[in-house]
Structures are given as structure tokens and as C-alpha cells.
Amino acid sequence: MTRQNADYGYDIQKVYLEMMLTDAETFVRCQAVFDDVAFDRRLQPAAKFINDYVVEHNAMPTFDIVNAATDSNLKHPGDLAENHYDWLLMEFETFSKHKALEAAILKSADLLEKGEYGPVEDLVKKAVQIGLQKDLGTDYWKDPRSRLEAIKDKNGQVSTGWATLDKKLFGGFNRGELNIFAGGSGAGKSLFLANMGVNWCLQGLNVLYLTFELSENLVSMRLDSMTTDIPSRDIFKNIEDVEMKVKMIGKKAGAFQVKYMPTGKTANDLRSYIKEFEIKTGRKIDVVLVDYLDLMMPIAKRISAENLFVKDKYVSEELRDLAMELNCLFVTASQLNRASVEEIEFDHSHISGGLSKIQTADNVIGIFTSRAMRERGRYQIQLMKTRSSSGVGAKIDLEFDVDSLRIRDLAEDDDYQEFSKRKSTVFDQIKRSSGALNPDEPKEDPTQGDTVGKIKAQTDSTKLKQFLNNLGTD
């Protein structure tokens, strides 16, 4: 029922107002884009009166009231069917958008003469984005099964590859999300992203790793160690083994594309590359790893790189929009500021750029790991923000293999679990012997016989340290 090549003149605008006056619900739905200035000057008084009347009285005026107040000569259009109002909603949305574009173009003339292109883009963007809210939302009580299955299918939830993290995230990440891992300099952010990429490839997902700092060769060599379990220092000594293992694993895994991009690229550059990749390879990208967000710039925004709050706000918003547009999962890293170096708990203030990134991201996870911790085989992360779980503040310990550079869930390591149990038992015995666990509990008599697993009061400090070292404690 839409009109082709509509000029939106006086007559059709008059019809819009007449139809709105017959149905309050339709006017309310149009009110979000209703602008009396957009109407023909002969109709502007009536349009303004109607809108002001509804705002003041919370009811529609009658035709007689409008005509008496504005001398507009509006007439009742007669009986209308539901599809007529559907036509009105569609027509009025297009009319409002066209009028907003006309106004934006007129306002832009002076700005273009001054060379101020940024405000021009904003004006046009706002005009193009004008639209009515046609979706009335979700009827909660109706068909919960279909609703939940639709959510599951749409989100395409993806496991992180670490059971402990999945548990805190209620299953993992979702497509269309932007997730940020924040860490200080040397915290191993790139290693963490690469490990996540391997996890997802092994699930059969197609992964794109965009590096703005490290070379493609360095990232690829790290992946060689992660996928083959051959220490990075021995890669060149075992080229044939690496080749064989990588090819065998690659036959069953998803794509893993590593691409270097210079600092300062935008979300548009990422979009262009992804679309080009998908066209040439015939593969749909499932996950995009951006290493890292702070090295990107916003689209067409004249913002200094030093203005972190504004810059990162636009970049994070654009990345999240891109994730939703492409229906894929976006994961990136961000730098923590210097104030976080000595902290044992992270909050929003420790992220460079601060709240601008926090507000946009779906999940923000801090990486506590230092080089010393990695050498001892540990990674520790903390959930700083989650949209879909109650795990904010929770810390998760992961195992790190220094040789293969692989990060694994501690729960997967039975030997470590057994070791932790033994270590805990020993320390409990020590505390119990000293009365630290329960001061009221009588201490064991050190004069009693040599019971296995007990530590005698007479044991000197040297033997005690040796005993603990033998159990593998630091």
C-alpha cells in the first residue's frame, strides 16, 4: 500500500493528521518521531496543537476542538480497518525520515562551507536512524518453551573452553557480544586471547585473530606450541613434527586466520576484511579476537588518541554494533592503568578509558597474572562485569603450561587436584597442632608415637621446610 515517488504534500499530510485523530494508540506510536515543524506550514498549527493537547491532557482532542483552535478544517476519514493504520505507521515513518533528511541537508550547507564534517555526519546519521517502534515486546506468559528455544538458537552460546569460567558465565559467551579481557602490561593478554582462539577452533568454530601489535609469525608460532604441545623453544628443532600435528589437528578444527593490522584501524576496516574473507573462502566467521581494542580508532571521529575516554567509548560501541551486525562473538583485550599494578582487586577505575568501555561491553574480565605467576604455572582472572550472570567479583584460577603456552582448567588436572588436597591436609595438621584452627581444641600430645601424616612438635624448622618442599609447595 505504500506510494511510489511520494512528494508528501499538503493533502497526504492532512490525511496523516486526520487518521491519527481517530485512534489514540496510533498517534502514541507515531509520537516518537512526530515533529510539527516537518508538516506543511498550513498544518503546523494543528500538528502542534494535537501534540501539546495529548501531552497536557493524556487524551486525543476531537476534530471540533482542533478545528476551533487552529482553523484547520480537518475531517473524519470514516470507518477505517486495521490495515489502514498499518499503512499509516509505515507511511508516516518514511515521511518523518525524509523530512529529517531534508532538514539535515539544509543545516549542513553552512557546516560544509566551514569544513566541519563531523556535525554533518551526525545530522545525517540521526535522520537515517529515525524509525517507529513496531515491536511491542515479549508476551512473557505466552509459550515459554518457544521463547527459550528461540533465545538459545539466536544467541548461539559458545563455551570458553574452561569449565570454571563457563559456570560463572552460565554457559559461556554469546554471539553478538563484545567481551573485554583487561590486564596490565605483561599480564599475558595476547596469550590469553590466543588460547581462547585455540579452544574455539577445536570446537569447530571459525576464528579470526586480528593482531595490532604482534606479528603474524609470532602469533602463529605461539599457536604451534599450543596446538602441538611442543615447547616454543623447540619449535625449530621439530619442524616435521609440528607440520604433521598441525595438519592433523587442522583437518578436524575450524578455520584460524591470523591477520596483522596497523595501529589506528577502525571497525569499518574490520568489517571490510571480514566480508572479503568470507567471500573468498566461503567460510562464515564465528569469533573475532581483537588484540587489542586500545590500538584502534573510531570511525570518522576527529578524536585525539590521547582522549581515551571518548576514543574508547566510540570504538567499543562500534565493535559491539559490528558483533551484532555480523552475528558473531567479539573478544578483545584492554590495558589496565598504572594504578592497578599493586592492587589485588580490580574495579572499573583500573581500566584505561574507564567506564566508557565497561558500559558497552557485555562481559569484562580482569587478568591478574604476572610473569612470575605464569612461571609458576598459574593464571588468575576476575569477573569485573557480566550481563548474564551473578558472578561479578569472582576470581578463577587456571593452570598455565610454560612450555606449551597452554592455559587449562585446573579441574582437568587430576594430579593437581590430588596435590592440592594433600597440601591442604598438611596445613590443617600444622594449624591443628598449633591450635590455630580451634583454640579450644586440646593439642595433640607430641610425646605420642609416630602416627603417619602427623607432624611432631619437636620437628625443627629446617625439617618442616624440607617436608613441605617434598610435597611440591612454593
What is the CB neighbour count within 10 angstroms for residue 106?
10
pLDDT > 90: percent of the chain: 26
Query: Is pLDDT above 70 for 164?
Result: yes
DSSP state of 133: -
What cell was used for 250? 587442522
pLDDT > 70: percent of the chain: 72
pLDDT tens digit string along 52-91? 999 888 889 999 999 999 988 999 998 888 889 889 988 8
Mean pLDDT, the chain, integer: 78
Mean pLDDT over 266-272 rounds to 88
Report the distance separating Cα 313 and Cα 318, nearest Å: 9
Nearest partner of 212 among 277, 303, 290, 308, judged by Cα: 290
Write down the pLDDT at residue 466.
62
φ, ψ dihedrals at 407, nearest 5°: -105, 125
Taking 3-state DSSP, the helix, strand and coil percentages for the chain, each rounded to the nearest 5, stand at 50, 10, 35
Is this structure's pTM higher than 0.85? no
The kind and range of the H/E element at 102 are helix 82-113
For the stretch 343-354, what's the b/e string if a residue is b when 16 or more beta carbons lie within 10 angstroms of its beta carbon? eeebeeebbbbb
Position 28 confidence tier, pLDDT thresholds 50, 70, 90: confident
Report the distance separating Cα 418 and Cα 404, nearest Å: 23
Q: What is the DSSP string of 158-221?
A: B--S-HHHHHHTTT-B-TT-EEEEEE-TTS-HHHHHHHHHHHHHHTT--EEEEESSS-HHHHHH
- On the 0-12 / 13-18 / 19+ scale of CB atoms within 10 A, 143 is exposed
Query: Is pLDDT above 70 for 151?
Result: no
Distances (CA, A) of 382 to 185, 251, 391, 392, 400: 17, 35, 9, 8, 16
Rounded (10°) CA dihedral 408, 412, 413, 417: 120
Nearest partner of 351 among 370, 374, 333, 372, judged by Cα: 333
The β-bridge relationship of strands 395-400 and 407-409 is antiparallel
For the stretch 241-275, what's the b/e string if a residue is b when 16 or more beta carbons lie within 10 angstroms of its beta carbon? ebeebbeeeeeebbbbbbebbeeebbbebbbebbe
pLDDT tens digit string along 311-349? 778 888 889 989 988 989 999 988 875 544 444 455 544
Contacts of 153 (CB under 8 A, 6+ apart): none
pLDDT tens digit string along 406-433? 999 885 444 434 444 444 454 455 545 5
Question: 376 or 118: which carries more pLDDT confidence?
Answer: 376
Question: Are the beta carbons of 364 and 357 closer than 8 angstroms?
Answer: yes
Question: 311 or 289: which carries more pLDDT confidence?
Answer: 289
Write down the pLDDT at residue 97.
86
Only one residue has cell 498544518, namely 43
Write down the pLDDT at residue 110.
75
Question: Are the beta carbons of 401 and 376 closer than 8 angstroms?
Answer: no
Q: Could you write out the three-class secondary structure of 266-282?
A: CHHHHHHHHHHHHHHHC
Mean pLDDT over 441-466 rounds to 46
Write down the pLDDT at residue 345.
52
Position 301 confidence tier, pLDDT thresholds 50, 70, 90: low
Tell me the residue type at 219. V
Question: 110 or 290: which carries more pLDDT confidence?
Answer: 290
Mean pLDDT over 26-46 rounds to 89
Q: What is the DSSP string of 432-468?
A: HHHT-S-TTSPPP-TTS---TT---TT--HHHHHHHH
Nearest partner of 88 among 142, 22, 145, 143, judged by Cα: 22
pLDDT tens digit string along 357-406? 677 888 888 887 777 888 888 888 888 888 766 677 788 889 998 888 99
The β-bridge relationship of strands 329-335 and 287-291 is parallel
